[in-house]
Amino acid sequence: MSSPSLDPIRFPDDDLPEGAVVDGERLTRDVKDVFDFIVVGSGAAGAVAAHTLVSAGHSVAIVEEGPWVKTREFGEDVHGALRRMLRDSAMQAIEGRSFLPLLQGRCVGGSTVINSAIAWRTPEDVLDDWAARFGLGKTLTMRELEPHFATLERDLHVQAVELDVLGNNNGLFLQHARTRNYQAGRMHRYDNGCRGSARCFNGCPTAAKRGMSVTYVPAALKRGARIFTSCRVDEVLCRFGRAVGIQGRSTSSDPWRATNRRITLTARKGVVLAASTVQTPVILQRSGVRAMALGEHFQIHPGLGLAGRFDTPIRMEFGATQGAESIHFRRSHRFKLETIALPPELVAARLPGAGAELTNRLADYGNIAIWAAQVRSQAQGTVRPAWGGGARVRLTLTDADMVATRTACTTIAELLFDAGAREIWPGIHGVPSVLTSRADIKLIAEGPLDPRAYSFIATHLFGAARMGPDPRSSAVGLNFAVHGTERLYVVDSSLFPTNLGVNPQHSIMAIARLAASRIAERASAGMAA
Ligand SMILES: Cc1cc2nc3c(=O)[nH]c(=O)nc-3n(C[C@H](O)[C@H](O)[C@H](O)COP(=O)(O)OP(=O)(O)OC[C@H]3O[C@@H](n4cnc5c(N)ncnc54)[C@H](O)[C@@H]3O)c2cc1C
């Protein structure tokens, strides 16, 4: 008999129903099958939609381009995580006046596997704007969304970061933001027992982070759904103006394992696209959907961070990866402040200097804090299919976006000096790489307004198949169906008319849940959208 302490811990992605997972990397023949609904993508939107549809009694197939990387495979190796779980090994970029790196998950659970699990309900001012300016009327009001938020919060265990895993990076930010009377707090996250390993980005090693690969995907499979992993959807099959299935092929991140089998799935009741704001519009365009707004109005929250070096230990490697935030400036200046812990490999990529100078700086890793901003930018861009099956994404930040960015940087610099930072490393071209006194902050305030001078990253994506009643200005109707094509639905943030100014996963899931409930009801009643 084994000792209790040696009993292996079981994770929710360990025990999956027999036959529920079809691994494209192991397929030896082409696949044909029939379901009520095909859901494309297993991230925030797809997992929730699939779970809702199967719970309503419909048969469901989820098709996911990436592999299923299980909890017990998550490690500390950042490069391995980037290669296995991120699209294009994290080498995607938005083109425009600058190249802006674009990060997306490409695995079962999508970006929820590699994200920080921060949960924010959609701000009411955003919903009011959608209703008034974009004709959404009562489709997406807080009254309609509230029960979906409540269920998600219960299922995914949304709670404030526990004090014992707050860590110094988060704690210092909170203390000094509050001293300045900024509206600030501990983050609320999908968290069931975070141990503060600061490894959200590599995949949570304890499954405490309630990403989709350990929650709604296994739950949907237990209710009878099937998932086709490492299977990429190339196009939606349409006949006589109605979606009837999907066509795709098996894939692999390792070219030696690619089997290239054809996947043809028939959908009796509909195809639900949840492949993300970049891939959903591309699938639609490849499938021959023509809508004026398709691929247009793409938006992001450009994010960037400043590092501060302290004399005292910060130890970013302990604590919630992102644990403290302030929405004080969301409406007045269009940015949200956040803490973030980055592993040494990613910090090294941002440090000023080279050779011995760089090595000395990296030796200070234990004394570095990183505080960041997500900017609610106004720029709109485009998403188009690219050669080789990818996407070409274009967007250039506006002057107003750059003013907001610069203000966010000065605000962070002030907070870092308040907290006792000896040096600040702003990482802005044209501003000295090391600032040593408060007087230096004016160098940021007078710094460039050129997006090429800043090290942005985009992880929050919106639009490109926006919702609205008028096919001339939107791609998706108020019933979540693509204008002009019956039974072809979009449930991810492609349909959002604008960005939010807060982290998007919670809004995406609540809207996907609401959409899938309505789609399921109509299908049960025998009505096509
Ligand atoms: C590093 C990082 C940190 C983040 N932190 C937070 C946070 O803390 N809080 C928050 O609210 N948001 C956060 N976000 C954003 C959030 O994760 C995303 O907004 C959300 O996951 C998007 O949901 P989605 O379902 O649209 O797309 P995803 O979750 O990205 O899922 C889309 C899935 O579709 C699959 N897919 C794409 N194309 C195809 C195809 N042709 N065939 C089959 N499958 C396909 C993809 O492989 C992917 O798995 C973060 C994002 C990143 C990258």
Nearest CA to ligand 1 atom 29: 43
Which residue of 122, 187, 276 sits with most ligand 1 atoms within 8 Å of its CB, as the best mutation to test the pocket?
A: 276
Q: Which amino acid is at 346?
A: L
**Torsions phi, psi for 349 (to 5 deg):** -70, -20
**Torsions phi, psi for 191 (to 5 deg):** -145, 120
Which top CATH class is 159-191+299-379+398-455?
A: alpha beta
- Rounded CA separation 157/153 (Å): 6
Going from N- to C-terminal start, the domains of the chain cover 17-89+102-157+207-296+464-524, 159-191+299-379+398-455
CB 287 within 8 A of CB 235: yes
The verdict on pTM exceeding 0.90 is yes
The ligand 1 atom at the shortest distance from the C-alpha of residue 282 is 41
In this prediction, residue 6 carries a pLDDT of 56
Q: 410: which 2 tokens?
A: 């000065």
Q: CB neighbours (10 Å) of residue 70? A: 17
The ligand 1 atom at the shortest distance from the C-alpha of residue 507 is 11
17-89+102-157+207-296+464-524 belongs to CATH 3.50.50.60: yes
In this prediction, residue 138 carries a pLDDT of 94
Nearest CA to ligand 1 atom 46: 106
What are the residues whose beta carbons fall under 8 Å from the beta carbon of 176, sequence distance 6 or more?
415, 418, 419
- Rounded CA separation 512/492 (Å): 6
In order along its 529 residues, the chain shows pLDDT tens digits of 444 455 578 999 999 999 999 999 999 999 999 999 999 999 999 999 999 999 999 999 999 999 999 999 998 888 888 889 999 999 999 999 999 999 999 999 999 999 999 999 999 999 999 999 999 999 999 999 999 999 999 999 999 999 999 999 999 999 999 999 999 999 999 999 999 999 999 999 999 999 999 999 999 999 999 999 999 999 999 999 999 999 999 998 776 766 789 999 999 999 999 999 999 999 999 999 988 899 999 999 999 999 999 999 999 999 999 999 999 999 999 999 999 999 988 888 777 778 888 888 889 999 999 999 999 999 999 999 998 889 999 999 999 999 999 999 999 999 999 999 999 999 999 999 999 999 999 999 999 999 999 999 999 999 999 999 999 999 999 999 999 999 999 999 999 999 999 999 999 999 999 999 999 999 988 876 6
In this prediction, residue 529 carries a pLDDT of 64
- Rounded CA separation 457/477 (Å): 31
Q: 480: which 2 tokens?
A: 């979540």
Look at the block and give the residue holding tokens 């099958």.
Answer: 33
The ligand 1 atom at the shortest distance from the C-alpha of residue 87 is 47
Axis-axis angle for helices 505-524, 142-155 (nearest 10): 110
SS3 220: helix
CB 48 within 8 A of CB 512: yes
Distance (Å) from CA 352 to ligand 1 centroid: 31
In this prediction, residue 415 carries a pLDDT of 98
Distance (Å) from CA 482 to ligand 1 centroid: 21
Residue 374, classified by CB atoms within 10 Å of its CB into exposed (0-12), middle (13-18) or buried (19+), is buried
515: region left, alpha or beta (phi > 0 left; psi from -120 to 50 alpha): alpha
Q: Which stretches does DSSP call E strand in 376-462?
A: 382-385, 391-394, 423-425, 457-462
CB 361 within 8 A of CB 266: no
